[in-house]
Amino acid sequence: MRYTSASMQKLALSPRKQTALLGTILGLASLALHAIPFFLFGRHPLGYDTGFYRRYLIEPITSFPNASVPGLGDDAFIVRMFLDILRFLHLPTDLILYGSYLAFWALMPVLLFFFLKLYLQKHGAFIAGLLLVGSSVAYNGYWYFLLKNALALNLILLAFIAIERRWSSAWFVLDIAIVLTHKTSAIIYILTLIALFIFSRGRRNEYALHIIIAGALFALINAPTVHELSVALPSAVFLDWQTYLWLSLPFILAIAVAGKTFLKYKIPSTLLALAGVSLLFPLFRLPFYERVFIFLDITLAGLAGYGIHSILSSVKSAWGTKQVFMPFMFLALFVGLFLGNLWNQVTSTLPLISNEQILRIEEIAKVIPAEATILTTSDEAPWFEGWTNAHIAAPGMLNDNHNLEAWTELWSGASTEQKIKFLDDFQKPLYISTFYAIEDIIGKAPECVHKVAENLWLVACEKSK
C-alpha cells in the first residue's frame, strides 16, 4: 500500500502541468475536428473567402507588408504581416494558407480556457473550451474561411485575459493589433470597452484610455469606411437568425439551467460586455451583423460552460440516487442536440467548388495572357482570384465598376450594341470563364464573343464609334 501510494503521488501532475495538459487537449481536439473537411472533401474544402487570401500569397512581394489585393481589404495590416513572415520561410502556399488558419481555430478554445480558468476553475473552463471546439456556429464560421475574424477573435480573447490579469503593456499592444487586423472585430472590441466603461465602477479611467487609443486609431485608418457606411449598409453571407438560434439551442438550454452556478462562480465582466454587444449588434442589423454571430457564439459557449459544469456536479453528487435522473436526462438531451448539430454541419457543409474545377481554373490560368481580365460569376470569383494571376471581375465584385442598375439592364435584354459597350468597360484582353452557362453572366453572347476552350470565351468585340 505504501508503494502504491508513493507511486500515485509520483504520477499526480502539478496544477501547472494539469493546466498545460488540458489546454493541449483542447488545441488538439480543435485541430482534429477542423482537419476533417480535408479528409472528407480533398485539398480545398473551405470557402467562400479562401481565394482572396490565396491571391495575396501568390502575388510577388514588393513591400512589407505587401500591398493589399482586391477582396482582402485594406484593414488586414497584421494579417498581411503575419502571412508575409511565413512567406519569407519559403513554405508552400497552401501550407501557409490552411496551416495558419487551422492554428488560429485551434488556439481559440485554448484561450477561452485560460480566460475562464480564473473564474470557473480548470474543469469548468475546460468544459467551456470543449463546447467552443464543437460549436456548430463556430464550425460554420470556420468553413467560410474567415481568417481575419479568426485572428482577431484570438487577439480579443488575449485582450480579455490582459484586462482581467491587469497586464497593462500587453493590453495596449492588443488594442492596436485588433484595430489593425479586422474592422468588424475592432468595432465589436471598442463597443465592448464602452460597455465596460458604462457598467464597471472601479476601472473607468483605464477603460476610457483604451477606448480613446483604439477609437482614435480606428477612426484614423477607417475614415473612408464611415462615408461608405453612410451611403449604404453592407451585409455579409452567413447564418440567418432562425438557423443561428437552432444551432445555439444546446448552449441556450445549458445557460438556462446554470442557476446558482452564476452566483457561485463569478462571470467575467468582459464576457458579459461582449455578450451584450454581440447580441445588440445583430438585433439592430448593423453592418456585417450576420458574422457577429461568431462573437456571440463564443460568449454563449463560455456561459454554457457554467451550466454544464453545474449539471455534471449535480450528477456526481446524486449518483446512485433517484435525484440523478433529471440532471442525467438533461445531459443526455444536451449531448444529443450538441453532437447532432455538429455532425450535420460537418457532413452537410460541402465545398462550393470541386477539386476538378480548381484544376481546370489552373489550366485556364496557363493559357490566358498576362494582365488579362476574367469576367466570371460572383460564386466563382474567389477561386479565379486565388488560382490565377488575372484581374478578376464579377457582378459587383473585385475589378467590376458597374452598379446594380447597369447589370440589371444587361440581364433584362440589352441589345448587342449595349452588351458590347458594357464589356468594353473592362480592362483588355477580356475573357469570360464559368462552370455555369455564359448566359448567367451576360445573357445571350454577341457573335464577337468566341469560345476558345472549355469554360473559356474570348471577348473580341469593338465598340462602334
For residue 2, pLDDT beyond 80:
no
Cell (9 digits) for 381: 470569383
* 3-state DSSP assignment of residue 449: strand
Closest CA to 419 of 446, 397, 437, 396: 446
Rg of the chain over Cα atoms, rounded to whole angstroms, equals: 25
Residue 333 makes CB contacts below 8 A (sequence gap 6+) with: 253
Q: Are 211 and 190 in contact (CB under 8 A)?
A: yes
Neighbours of 364 (CB within 10 A): 21
pLDDT at 235: 53
Same domain for 285 and 412, yes or no, is: no
> pTM of the full predicted structure?
0.92
For residue 286, pLDDT beyond 90:
no
For residue 214, pLDDT beyond 80:
yes
pLDDT over 90, % of the chain: 74
Q: Looking at the domain assignment, is residue 47 inside a domain?
A: no
Closest CA to 33 of 134, 137, 149, 151: 134
Point out the domain boundary residue: 348, 380, 414.
348
Confidence of residue 463 (pLDDT cuts 50, 70, 90): confident
How many independent structural domains does the chain possess? 2
Pairing of strands 430-433, 373-375: parallel
Closest CA to 56 of 31, 73, 40: 73
Q: Looking at the domain assignment, is residue 247 inside a domain?
A: yes
Neighbours of 61 (CB within 10 A): 12
Closest CA to 37 of 386, 297, 243, 345: 345
Mean pLDDT of 67-88: 88
Q: Looking at the domain assignment, is residue 412 inside a domain?
A: yes
Same domain for 344 and 406, yes or no, is: no
What is the rounded CA–CA span in Å between residue 330 and residue 109? 24
The residue that leads in pLDDT, 412 or 26, is 26
For residue 4, pLDDT beyond 60:
no
Same domain for 359 and 383, yes or no, is: yes
Same domain for 337 and 359, yes or no, is: no
The partner residues of 456 in beta bridges, in order of sequence, read 433, 453
Same domain for 330 and 379, yes or no, is: no
For residue 1, pLDDT beyond 90:
no
Same domain for 407 and 339, yes or no, is: no
Q: Looking at the domain assignment, is residue 55 inside a domain?
A: no
Confidence of residue 3 (pLDDT cuts 50, 70, 90): very low
The residue that leads in pLDDT, 225 or 274, is 274
Point out the domain boundary residue: 299, 330, 348.
348
pLDDT at 338: 97
Same domain for 292 and 377, yes or no, is: no
Q: Looking at the domain assignment, is residue 240 inside a domain?
A: yes
Q: Looking at the domain assignment, is residue 318 inside a domain?
A: yes
Mean pLDDT of 178-205: 94
Out of 30-34, 316-320, 353-357, 413-417, pick the least confident: 316-320
What is the rounded CA–CA span in Å between residue 244 and residue 233? 21
pLDDT at 227: 54
Query: Would you put residue 315 in left (φ > 0), alpha (ψ -120 to 50) or beta?
Result: alpha
Mean pLDDT of 22-31: 97
Give the mean pLDDT of the chain.
90
Closest CA to 191 of 179, 177, 203, 205: 179
Cell (9 digits) for 271: 464576457
What is the rounded CA–CA span in Å between residue 234 and residue 407? 19
Q: Looking at the domain assignment, is residue 143 inside a domain?
A: yes
Mean pLDDT of 90-95: 94
Residue 44 makes CB contacts below 8 A (sequence gap 6+) with: 50, 94, 351, 353, 355, 358
Same domain for 309 and 360, yes or no, is: no
Q: Are 189 and 197 in contact (CB under 8 A)?
A: no
Task: Kindly give the residue spans of alpha helices, DSSP state H, lying in 89-240.
Answer: 93-133, 136-143, 147-165, 168-179, 183-199, 204-221, 223-231
pLDDT over 70, % of the chain: 94
Same domain for 270 and 375, yes or no, is: no
pLDDT at 7: 46
Same domain for 366 and 229, yes or no, is: no
Mean pLDDT of 276-304: 91
Confidence of residue 171 (pLDDT cuts 50, 70, 90): very high
DSSP secondary structure code for residue 290 in this structure: G
pLDDT at 303: 96
Confidence of residue 448 (pLDDT cuts 50, 70, 90): very high
For residue 278, pLDDT beyond 90:
yes
Domain with 29, as residue range(s), is 14-40+79-90+106-348
DSSP string, 93-120: HHHHHHHHHHHHHHHHHHHHHHHHHHHH
* 150-166 residues labelled b (16+ CB within 10 A) or e (exposed): bbbbbbbbbbbbbbbee
Closest CA to 375 of 446, 424, 413, 444: 424
For residue range 105-154, list pLDDT tens digits in order. 999 999 999 999 989 989 999 999 999 999 999 999 999 999 999 999 99
pLDDT at 437: 94
pLDDT at 234: 52
Same domain for 233 and 213, yes or no, is: yes
Residue that has been written with the C-alpha cell 475573357 in this structure = 431
Cα angle value 206/120/282 (rounded, 5°): 65
Q: Are 251 and 303 in contact (CB under 8 A)?
A: yes
Point out the domain boundary residue: 299, 331, 348.
348
Residue 234 makes CB contacts below 8 A (sequence gap 6+) with: 228, 287, 288
Cα angle value 91/138/342 (rounded, 5°): 110
What is the rounded CA–CA span in Å between residue 382 and residue 399? 12
* 3-state DSSP assignment of residue 392: strand
Cell (9 digits) for 140: 460554420
Same domain for 448 and 334, yes or no, is: no
Between the alpha carbon of residue 64 and those of residues 78, 149, 176, 230, 383, the distances in Å are: 11, 22, 18, 32, 25
pLDDT at 264: 81
Closest CA to 338 of 301, 294, 288, 290: 301
Q: Looking at the domain assignment, is residue 283 inside a domain?
A: yes
